[in-house]
Amino acid sequence: MNSLISKDLSVPHRCENRYKIAENLLWRRNQTLPAPLKIDLSEEEDKNLPELQKLAGIPYRVKERAEIIRLRHYGWSVEKIAQYKGKSPHTVRDCFHRWKKRGMEGLWEKMGRGRKKKWKEDDLVYVEKFRLFSTLCDNFCL
C-alpha cells in the first residue's frame, strides 16, 4: 500500500496531544487537573428550559444558553457543545459559570448592558402625536 495514501490512525489529534502534555506537566508538579464542570438540573429546571427556548420574545442568546446548559446536563463535552453551537469552548464554559453562580437569572444579560437611549420619554410622546396627526391629515385631506 502506498504510504502517502495510508493514514496512521494511532496518531492523536493535536488538541488531545496538548491536553496530554498539560496533564503530564501538572502530574509532575503533584497538581491535579480541574474537575469538569458538571451541570445537574432539577426536574423543574429540565422541564422549564425547553419551554423557555420555545417562547416568543425571549432573546436569542438566552435561548442558546438554555440549550447549552441542557446539552451539558445530558453529558455532552464542552468541545462537542462548542462545535455544535459554533461557539468557542471559552464561551460555553462562561455559560456554565453563569448558571452555577446565578441559576436561571444567569441566562439573561445583566441590566445596564448595551447602548443607552438617547431619546427621552417626552421626545417619544411628541413623535407619536406627530405621527398620529399626520395620519389623520392624510385621511381627511383627500
Grid cell, residue 138, equals 392624510
pLDDT digits (tens, 9 = 90+) for 117-132: 787 888 888 888 888 7
- Alpha-carbon distance of 96 to 39, in angstroms, equals 8
Domain ranges of the chain: 36-107
| Mean pLDDT taken over the chain | 78
| Higher-pLDDT residue of 50, 135 | 50
Nearest residue to 52 (alpha-carbon basis) of 76, 68, 38: 68
Q: What is the pLDDT of residue 31?
A: 54
Q: What is the pLDDT of residue 93?
A: 92
Q: What is the pLDDT of residue 24?
A: 67
Q: What is the pLDDT of residue 25?
A: 64
Residue 94 has pLDDT above 80, yes or no: yes
